[in-house]
Amino acid sequence: MFDTAMTANDLWFLAKGAAMTLAVTGVSVTVGTLMGVLFGVIRFQLGPIWAAPLTFALDVFRSVPLLIQLVLGNAFQSIAKLGWGPFTTSCVILSLYTAAYCTEIVRGAIDSVPGTTRRAARSLGMTWWQDMRYIVAPLATRIALPSWIGLTLGVMKDSSLVLWLGLIELLRASQILVTRLQEPLFILTVCGLIYFLLSFPIARLGGYLEKRWSND
């Protein structure tokens, strides 16, 4: 018969770790998405030559492994005496990481909107802002949604790397329990199940919206 030393308090400890994972993910994805939309529009409007400095900066965040970014970001903020805690440092680095990928998602989605559609809107007297708001944004959102959902889920899983900064999120909490209880398979199975429960609603929501919009 299966037996475990895990108690209700241990499950509560994992739940608090999961809440920290959601907090880091929520802040990072929200801020990173807003930055990504802004940078994506800028990249699309300026073109590859004028947007080259911005493109290079974002390429750095896409090319360097996230763990290295977290370690270096934490070191730099310490050297600069910014006084950021692990949570703030994690959110800043993950937001920039998210923005780097979201920028390309947004730029590609805008670029996918047919030029004839945009020209027709402008010929009707729409301003650039009205064209972007009423024509480009709805069409580009449908195109970008699947990639954005994938990015969100990826950031949630990558947030486990913030344990290196001392932040007790879900994976770090499970490691603490593994060290104390010596039941790695069971505890990591529970941890994986919690990750699935956190990710599944997001994936299903994305699938629902994509299916609904495709039928409109």
Looking at residues 53-57, what average pLDDT do you find?
91
Taking the alpha carbons at both ends of the chain, their separation in whole angstroms is 53
In a domain, residue 181? The reply is yes
In a domain, residue 114? The reply is yes
User: Residue 2: what pLDDT?
Assistant: 62
In a domain, residue 3? The reply is no
Interior angle at CA 42, CA 206 and CA 92, nearest 5: 65
In a domain, residue 2? The reply is no
Q: Which of the four pLDDT bands, split at 50, 70 and 90, describes residue 66?
A: very high
In a domain, residue 119? The reply is yes
In a domain, residue 61? The reply is yes
In a domain, residue 124? The reply is yes
Give how far Cα 32 sits from Cα of 28, 75, 83, 211, Å: 6, 21, 22, 25
CA gap 40, 122 in Å, rounded: 21
**Residues 6 or more apart whose Cβ sits within 8 Å of residue 128:** none
| 3-state SS class at 80 | coil
CA gap 170, 158 in Å, rounded: 11
Token pair of 48, please? 């590859």
Average pLDDT, the chain: 90
Place of tokens 């559609």: 117
Q: pLDDT tens for residues 42-53? A: 999 888 888 889
CA gap 124, 103 in Å, rounded: 29
CA gap 39, 36 in Å, rounded: 5
Predicted model pTM: 0.91
- Percent above pLDDT 70 for the chain: 98
Domain span at residue 125 reads 8-214
Q: pLDDT tens for residues 93-102? A: 999 999 999 9
CA gap 207, 173 in Å, rounded: 31
- Provide the number of structural domains found in the chain: 1
Report residue 193: phi and psi, to 5°.
-65, -40
Q: pLDDT tens for residues 133-170? A: 888 998 999 999 989 999 999 999 999 999 888 888 99
Q: pLDDT tens for residues 178-197? A: 998 888 899 999 999 999 99
In a domain, residue 81? The reply is yes
CATH number at residue 160: 1.10.3720.10
